[in-house]
A = this chain, B = another copy of it.
Amino acid sequence: MAADQLSRVFSALADPTRRDMVARLTLADATVNELAEPYDVTVQAVSKHLRVLEEAGLVSRSREAQRRPVHLEAEVFDLMTTWIERYRRQAEERYRRLDDVLRSMPDGIEPTPPPRPETGASR
């Protein structure tokens, strides 16, 4: 479940702690311990969060002596914005069309829209 990357990315960012970690990583790479410091949880918990972010493709870890600096992979953001923008545009397009229809109506008609319009489409 939640197999595809888009699901993993959304899911990863659904957690406030992980979102905060991502925010901090936009400023600088950091180690697990550094990342854990501000939060009131164990370092192991943060390590788990990082695994989630990593599996979503949002961060990568390199090896550097015994430290494992975490690096943000910001390109993954595009995955989300592409999805969001696509459907935002589709929704806006629909509203535009709807407005046109309503505007072209003699006043007071109040549509009675066609029995079962698009509904099926998608996918």
Contact = CB atoms under 8 A, between A and B. Distances in A.
Interface of A: 1-2, 4, 6-8, 10-11, 13-16, 19-20, 22-31, 34, 38, 62, 64, 69, 71-72, 74, 77, 80-81, 83-85, 87-88, 90-92, 94, 116-123
A16 B7 contact: yes
B28 A15 contact: no
Number of copies of chain A assembled together: 2
Contact of A119 (B14, B31, B83): B31
A119 B11 contact: no
A71 B123 contact: yes
A20 B87 CA distance: 10
12 contacts: A6-B19, A19-B83, A24-B121, A26-B90, A27-B119, A28-B121, A29-B118, A30-B119, A64-B119, A69-B119, A71-B122, A81-B84
